[in-house]
Amino acid sequence: MDRSNCNKAIRCTVNQCANHSDGAEYCALDCITVGTHEANPTVDQCTDCKSFQRKCC
């Protein structure tokens, strides 16, 4: 994946993600999947980016 690209429709501040755009606060993916780890989410902390992949290096 070319992380120099950024999708300006998806802002992201998670530098530890392999999909984080190099040099910008955006995601390099065309689209992401958002989900939850709670049965009944009530606050933003209950949601997760399911497209997250840990940056290896």
Q: Domain map of the chain by residue range?
A: 7-49
User: Residue 21: its pLDDT value, please?
Assistant: 93
Place of tokens 């755009």: 21
Q: Model-level pTM?
A: 0.81
Number of DSSP helices (H) and strands (E) in the chain, helices first: 0, 4
CA quadruple 41, 34, 53, 21: dihedral sign: negative
What is the Cα–Cα distance from 48 to 57, expressed in whole angstroms?
22
- Bridge partners (DSSP) of residue 47 are 36
Kindly report, residue by residue over 1-57, the tens digit of the pLDDT.
Answer: 677 789 999 999 999 999 999 889 999 999 999 999 999 999 999 999 999 999 986
**Which pLDDT value is given to residue 5?**
83
